[in-house]
Amino acid sequence: MDRIEVNPEICSGKPVVRGTRIMVRNILGMVAGGYTVERIVASYPGLTTSYVSTALEYAAQVVDEDQVLAR
């Protein structure tokens, strides 16, 4: 997951694609909204399909590792 960065100085410490300010949650939101990987890449010219896949894998790992509490 070296393509994902968590730094308190960037986007208040939210996970981003390394070297950008593109937050993992933005990519997840686009997927939830029905965007294809190709459309996400077209929306963010600095991204590749590999970066989008990495962001999705990162999100899956976080959900798997952390305890999820009902709101």
Domain that holds residue 38: 4-65
**Residue 69 clears pLDDT 80, i.e. is over it:** no
Condensed to tens digits (0 to 9), the pLDDT of residues 18-67 reads: 999 999 999 999 999 999 999 999 999 889 999 999 999 999 998 887 67
What pLDDT, on the 0 to 100 scale, is given for residue 1?
Answer: 67
Q: Which residues pair with 23 in a beta bridge?
A: 16
Domain assignment of residue 70, yes or no: no
What pLDDT, on the 0 to 100 scale, is given for residue 66?
Answer: 63
What pLDDT, on the 0 to 100 scale, is given for residue 45?
Answer: 87
Provide the 10 A C-beta neighbour count for residue 37: 18
User: CATH number for the domain including 26?
Assistant: 1.10.10.10
